[in-house]
Structures are given as C-alpha cells and as structure tokens.
Amino acid sequence: MPLPTADTAAAALVALRERNPLVQSLTNVVSANFLTNALLAAGATTALVDNPREAGEFAAVADSVLVNLGTPTEEQARAFTCAVSGARGPWVLDPVAVGGLSWRTEIADRLLAHRPAAVRGNPSEIGALAGLESTSRGVDSSADPADSAQASRKLLDVTTAAAASGAVDHITGRTADDEVATVRVHGGSGYLPRITASGCALGALSAAYLAVTDPFTGLVAAHAHFATASEAAERHCSGPGTFIPAFLDALAATTPDDLRATRIDVL
Amino acid sequence: MPLPTADTAAAALVALRERNPLVQSLTNVVSANFLTNALLAAGATTALVDNPREAGEFAAVADSVLVNLGTPTEEQARAFTCAVSGARGPWVLDPVAVGGLSWRTEIADRLLAHRPAAVRGNPSEIGALAGLESTSRGVDSSADPADSAQASRKLLDVTTAAAASGAVDHITGRTADDEVATVRVHGGSGYLPRITASGCALGALSAAYLAVTDPFTGLVAAHAHFATASEAAERHCSGPGTFIPAFLDALAATTPDDLRATRIDVL
Amino acid sequence: MPLPTADTAAAALVALRERNPLVQSLTNVVSANFLTNALLAAGATTALVDNPREAGEFAAVADSVLVNLGTPTEEQARAFTCAVSGARGPWVLDPVAVGGLSWRTEIADRLLAHRPAAVRGNPSEIGALAGLESTSRGVDSSADPADSAQASRKLLDVTTAAAASGAVDHITGRTADDEVATVRVHGGSGYLPRITASGCALGALSAAYLAVTDPFTGLVAAHAHFATASEAAERHCSGPGTFIPAFLDALAATTPDDLRATRIDVL
C-alpha cells in the first residue's frame, strides 16, 4: 500500500459520502453541537451515546467511535471503557489536555491499552501521550507540530496512525505494507484555532473517515477535508463568528476534486 | 372541537407570542443551546432545570415541560421523574433513539405511566414507543411517517396527541370531542434533517405550544411553524451552516398569516 | 484610584489582547460553546474543567475562574468548591436563577464564603443574592437594574464589585481607595436578551477582564465591550439567529477606541 496522498484522500471522501458512516461520539459539552453539525455537513452522522448503560451496546452497531477527553464525568469515564471494549469498528482517541491534567492523563493511559486505531491531538497532547514532557497550559498548544513527529512514531506501538494538528498538520502512520512515514497536510485557515471545538470536530471527522478507509489514509483525508473547507470558509466570512456557519457550508460543499488539489507531502 | 387547521395554528401562534410561555427543558447536551435559541426566537422561553434536586420544584412553576431522552445521565433520569410528577402544566416526551437502545427504552416505558400530554419523535421512535418493531440504528430514521399513523393511534391510550415528524409530518390526536384523526403538515426544508437538534427543538416548541392550546392543535402548530420557517430560511442560506442562523431568524419572523398559508390536510 | 471610565475600559481591552488570559469556566451546558467562542473572539481563552478531580488542579494555573450556576450536577457542585478554593487568580460568580430555585441558592450561599472577586447577574439574581425578595421565575428577569444598586452595595461585604446587567448595566464596586460607587454602562442591543447564554458569556468575559485589571474596572470593561459589540452586530444582522455570528465577529473587531466612545456615567 502506498502512502496517503491527495488522491487517496479524494477517494476516501467519495466513500464517506456513499456510506454515510455512523460515528458514536463520547465528547465534551463544548463540542457536542458543533461536532455533530460538522459530521452531518461533511457526509457522516453521529450519536452521542456516552452513558455506561448504553455505550457498549451502541458501540456494537456504530461504524466507528470517537473518545474525546475534554470534559469527563465519572459516568462518561466508565462509558469510555464500555465503548472502546465493545466497539465493532475502529475507535479514535482525542486526548484533550492530556499531560496538563492528572485524571484525564490516567484515563488516556488506561484507554491506550485498548489500542485506538488512531489518535488525533494538538502537538503538546500528542507529546504528552507519548510520555514526553508537556508544556501545555490547557487545551491550546504552542508546541510545533513538526516536533511531534517523533512522539507520534512512539505512539505507533499502540495505534496505527497519529495526527498532530496545527498550522501544518503532521500525520504519522503505518501502512498495510508496514511502512512508517510522516505525511504533512498544508493549508487551512487562521480562523480554525479562533473558534472552539474545531479540533474536536476534526477528531470526530477522523473517526468518520476511519469507518471507510485505513487509519493512516483516514487521518490524512479528514485533515485535508478540514484544510480545504476552512480555506473556502475564510473567503466567505467577516470574522470568527461568521466563519462558523461558512465552515459548515464548506464542509458540505467540498468535492473530491477539492481534496485532490490539497497540498500533501512526505516529511 | 374541530380538527386542527392552518387557522387554529395561526391562532396558537398569536397566543404563543402574547403569553410567552416558560418551558422547562430536560434535554440532551447536543440540543441545549440551539433548542433554547429556537424557543426564544419563536416566542417562548426555556430553562434547563434537569437536576433531581430542583426539577420538581421548577416543574411546579413552568408552563410546560419537555423530556428529551437524547443523552441521559443517572441524575437526569431521576430528574425526568421528578419533573413529570411535579408538572403543573402539560409535558411532552421526545423519545430519542427509543427502541434502538435499552436503558432509554425502559425510561420511556416508565415515563409513559405519567401520561404525557403529547409525544413527538421520528417515525421509528414513535413505532418503537408503541411497541412495534424498530429498525432505527440510532437517532435518524428511514421509516416512513405515514406508516407511523397506526403506531400513533396506539399511543393515544397514554397520550392525547403524537407526532411523527418527517418530510411530511403526520400528527395523530384526539380532539376535545373525542374524535381521533391524523393531520398532515406539508412543506419544510431538506436542510432540517441535515442539522442536528432540529427535531429536539421541534419537541421543545411543541411543549411551548401546549402551554397555550390543546395538545393536538399545539403539535400541529409547532410543526407548521417549523415547516414555514424552514422554507423561508432555505431561501436565505448557502448550505447547512448558514441555514442555522437563517432558520432562527425565520422562526422569529413567522407571522400568523404565514401559518394560515401552511398546507395542512387530514389523512 | 479613580472610578472606572471609558478610558480605563479601553486600557483594560489593550491588556486583555496583550495577555490573552486563560479563564477556567465551570458553566452550564447551554452556554458552553457560545461562551467559549465569545471569549476567544474577545481576546481571551477558556477551558471547561468542571470535574472535582481536576477543578482545583486547573484553578491553580488558570488566570481566573468563572462559576456559573445554570445547570449544576452533583459533580459540578463539588467542583465549584474545589475551583474557588484552589484559585490562584480572581473568581467570578454568576448566580443563575438564584432565589428562584432552592439547591443553587444554597450553593451560592456557600460559595460566597469564599469571597468572589466579583459577581455578575441579572437584577433579580443580584437582589436574591443579597438576601432580598426575589420575583424571578427562572433565568430571565423583569426587575429593574437601577433597583439592584442597593442590593449590590450589600454584596460588597463579600465581594469587590457586583454587576446587574440589563438595558442599562449598573455596576457597583469598591475602588482601591475604598470609594464605593455605582457606574452605569449605556448602550447595547435588544437582541442580547433574545439569544441564550449572552449573560453567561458576559460573566465569562468579566472573569477574563478580572485577570488583567481590578474587579470594578474589569466588570465595567466587560459590559462596555458587550454593549459596543452588540450595537455593531445589530447593524449586520436580520434577526436573532444572524445576530449570533455577527456578535462574535464584533467582539473580535472591537477596538480600544470603540470602548473609549462608550457612554459610561456615575449614578
């Protein structure tokens, strides 16, 4: 299997729109609405089944699962384990603020034993998850995505692909041929870090793509979809507020040809 | 009492705007913000008092109550019972994903004993609630609203009116004269199922209308208000993202004359 | 120290944009997304760390803390205490529906012992908090902000400044010179009470400003920022729905010169 490219991202988008996968999202309260609208716009669907009584039951029918550690509760933390244990499809970990806060760092460590198909975070979260020193003060990151490639390679012991999202996204993964590489997705908009839950929605979209393609290709396709759509949205907004609906419009309007034009290269 | 018509829907809207009812919403985290903005725009108001320590206390002063089963927690499940037991006004059940998931199906069964004034769901949820076989894979529905008329009639043993929302809404109810009929509300926008929580907001608006009119008329008025506003919003948007603010604008701008022009007929 | 003015509000905005403070928000589910986007747009950032295992840990690094009582859970109520006990910076109390509901009124009473740096609410909440008779039926208020100046003065036993937000905002505080006064912020938009969580976002923005200036000046600056931005947004919207993104745009676009033009006077 070759490395992910703009062409395989385009093919993944075609598959996403054809199969309209159902993602189970266990996520934070800030992102719940936006993340769902982002998935619906992009070509998937999601249900937030995050209580321990139903999380495993639903994971057995959902096409993939997202676990986002943004605002955990006791019940949700139990549901995380139920969902990843019961998942019939791939699951994605979004380790929000891991490294900066103790409880969720323990939760993340425990969840890694269940081997996520992919991990998506900001560079400091990816670094913390790989056991590196964290400099994060919370949910935002000042670390450089490029520095996280090494951390991402460490994570390949427990996952198939890891994305450090940033101005340039660095996605490190293992292909079916057991080749390991870091692929960069260029482009995007400076508005993305200026609205909340954009990273969370990207994690959810990653889970959606993983339902229709392999983890490495899926992460690259999700990041390319976000980069392309955010550039289009920036041309139709007058600030971070109007960027939000414009971005949802653009996620829906993105075509395979748009993804084919994304600038993707190998580090 | 005659069957609900476009004229009685228009009269209900006049009453809604005059009385500005306060709905207590016990709802899921995805819908919380959008549902509240939808009620404020339409002409009502709401407060999400969904903890078991205060839910009954607030239900005693709220004009009506919405119980939406979208993302239940242990505390919220206890609060559901407190609220419907203590409600001074009518309460509406929105049985999100009932039939597809076990815990909330049990919760719904228990709540039905408290006799909701009305039920609103998608066709597969209405079918499941009536004890029929469910084919739902989650929160969306592929079932035909028309098929749910029979299920809705079964539900009239425990409620006064039941709505199966869809491309054409089918609302089955009992009039004050004990006449049972199914009324259809035509129109609407293809964007409604492409944004999250539109059904939840429709359930909340149903609760608002039930505070100012009888359950059958209230369900028809809420669905007519949504259908009309969504058509107007579709003319002012360029995708699912910009549909959202346009739809809130349209809920606010809808006039009694607009509702009088809705196409409503008897099945 | 002189009383807060439009000039000191403008200076506070400069400081906010330079220092980009991190606010810990313990808030209700309705406001979570909008409040975060409002802070990001205005020039701050926030993380919703509201579980009792991490709330104190995060309060020790956050620049300020917001406690909003809108939709408390048992875990969140414990986290409130952890956060205000562990806060290294100032904390702000937003007493949503206090006086109208029993449990949160007890919570608010207990929290006052930890002496918030500032309090922000609607007039009836401020009145209830000061032990006065409440007429509130929930989260909205029909009381006059002017009447709350007396209640706010009472609250200065336990806090440094208290804001009663309304058509004209009344902010009562104590300066470093121990002078007590009530300052009024004029302007704003009739759309603010027609969208949900605008008051919650104002409480969060107050917490952000308190991280960069004294409590009295911070409350005045936050209210001036909101008043100015809402007026600008009203010129770019066609209803309450389109007001929301326009308002976020305007929070970002507000300049120190805009704040310098705010009409602020002493009662």
The whole-angstrom distance between residue A48's C-alpha and the CA centroid of its chain comes to: 16
What is the spatial distance between Cα C139 and Cα C217, in angstroms, rounded to a whole number? 26
CA geometry: angle B143, B147, B150, nearest 5 deg: 135
DSSP for B154-189 reads HHTTT-SEEEE-SSSEEEEEE-TT--EEEEEE----
pLDDT at A140 over 80: no
Contact C101, B79 (CB under 8 A): no
- Mean predicted lDDT score pLDDT of chain C: 94
Task: Identify all chain C residues contacting A141, using CB atoms and an 8 Å cutoff.
Answer: none
| Nearest-angstrom CA–CA distance, B25 and B80 | 10
- Give residue A134's pLDDT: 42
Nearest to A35 by CA among A232, A225, A254, A202: A202
DSSP for A63-120, please give it: SEEEEE-SS--HHHHHHHHHHHHH-SS-EEEE-TTBTTBHHHHHHHHHHHTT--SEEE
Residue C65 near chain A (CB below 8 Å): no
Contacts of residue A235, defined as CB under 8 A and 6 or more positions apart, other chains included, come to none
Domains assigned to chain C: 6-266 (3.40.1190.20)
Percent of chain B with pLDDT strictly greater than 70: 95
Residue B94 contacts C, CB cutoff 8 Å: no
Would you call A170 helix, strand, or coil by DSSP?
strand
Going across the sheet that includes C161-164, the strands are C45-47, C22-26, C64-68, C91-94, C118-121, C161-164, C169-174, C180-185, C264-266
> Averaged over C2-16, what is the pLDDT?
97
Give C236's contacts in chain A (Cβ within 8 Å): 238
* pLDDT digit string, tens, across residues C93-123: 999 999 999 999 999 999 999 999 999 999 9
The minimal CB distance from A245 to the residues B138, B196, B241 is found for B241
Contact check, Cβ <8 Å, C54/A102 = yes
* Residue B135 sits at the chain A interface (C-beta within 8 Å): no
Query: Average pLDDT in the A199-217 region?
Result: 98
- The 10 Å Cβ neighbour count of residue C18 is 10
Mean of all residue pLDDT scores within chain A:
94
Please, which pLDDT band fits residue A2 given cuts at 50, 70 and 90?
confident
Question: H-helix or E-strand containing C181?
Answer: strand C180-185
Would you say A259 and A220 are in contact if contact means Cβ atoms under 8 Å apart? Answer: no
Residue of B37, B63, B237 to mutate, testing the C interface (most C Cβ within 10 Å of its Cβ): B37
Residue C32 has pLDDT above 80, yes or no: yes
3-state secondary structure (DSSP) of residue C23:
strand
Buried b (16+ CB within 10 A) or exposed e, C234-266: bebbebbbbbbbbbbbbbbbbebebbbebebee
Distance (Å, rounded) from C-alpha A154 to C-alpha C222? 45
**Per-residue pLDDT tens over the stretch A93-119:** 999 999 999 999 999 999 999 999 999
Asked if C111 and C26 touch (Cβ cutoff 8 Å), the reply is no
CA A1 to chain C, closest CA, distance in angstroms equals: 41
Kindly state the tokens that stand for A100.
């900066």
Closest C-alpha among C72, B209, C246 to residue B201: B209
Q: What is the pLDDT of residues C205-264, one digit of tens each?
A: 999 999 999 999 999 999 999 999 999 999 999 999 999 999 999 999 999 999 999 999
- Give the torsion sign (CA, A162, A165, A170, A175): positive
What is the residue-averaged pLDDT of chain B?
94
| Residue A62: per-residue pLDDT | 98
Q: Residue A2 and residue A216: Cα distance in Å, rounded?
A: 11
Q: Quick one: angle between helices C32-42 and A32-42, nearest 10?
A: 90
Which residues partner with A53 through β-bridges?
A: none
- Which helix (DSSP H) or strand (DSSP E) does residue C45 occupy? strand C45-47
pLDDT of residue C199: 98
Strand partners for B210: none
Could you tell me how far CA C95 lies from the centroid of its own chain?
A: 10
Give yes or no for B253 touching C (CB within 8 A).
yes
Where are any strands of DSSP class E within A110-168? Answer: 118-121, 161-164
Name the nearest CA neighbour of A213 among A95, A67, A63.
A63
The pLDDT, as a whole number, for residue C79 is 98
**Mean pLDDT score, A189-212:** 98
Is pLDDT at B143 greater than 90 in this prediction?
no
The β-bridge relationship of strands C161-164 and C118-121 is parallel
Q: What percent of chain B is predicted at pLDDT more than 90?
A: 91
The confidence score (pLDDT) of residue B135 equals 45
pLDDT at position A132, please?
54
- pLDDT at site B243: 98
- Summarised one tens digit per residue, pLDDT across range B76-135 is 999 999 999 999 999 999 999 999 999 999 999 999 999 999 999 999 999 999 985 444
pLDDT greater than 70 at residue B179: yes
Band the pLDDT of C148: cuts 50, 70, 90.
confident
pLDDT score, position C34: 98
Residue A256: pLDDT above 70?
Answer: yes
The sign of the torsion formed by the CA atoms of A35, A41, A43, A49 equals positive
**pLDDT value, residue C132:** 53
- pLDDT at A203 (0 to 100): 98
B42: closest CA of chain A, how far (Å): 20
* pLDDT beyond 90 at C145: no
- Predicted local distance difference test score (pLDDT) of residue C143: 64
Are the beta carbons of A239 and C248 separated by less than 8 Å?
yes
Mean pLDDT of A139-146: 60
Q: Using an 8 Å Cβ cutoff, are B123 and B95 in contact?
A: no
Quick one: pLDDT band at residue B148, thresholds 50, 70, 90? confident
Burial pattern A125-150, b for ≥16 Cβ within 10 A else e, equals: bbbbbbebebebbbbbbebebbebbe
What is the C-alpha separation between C251 and A106, in angstroms, rounded?
37
For residue C224, give the H/E element and its range: helix C215-234
Scanning every residue of chain C, which has its alpha carbon at the shortest distance from the alpha carbon of B40?
C194
| pLDDT on residue C134 | 42
Distance from first CA to last CA of chain C, Å, rounded? 18
Residue at token pair 């692909």: A161
Interface membership of B248 toward C (CB under 8 Å) = yes
Of A47, A48, A248, the CB nearest to B241: A248
- pLDDT level of residue B1 (50, 70, 90 thresholds): low
DSSP codes joined into one string, A198-220: HHHHHHHHHHHHHTTS-HHHHHH
What integer pLDDT is reported at residue B141 of this predicted model?
Answer: 52
CA B167 centroid distance within chain? 15
Size of interface A-B (CB pairs under 8 A): 96
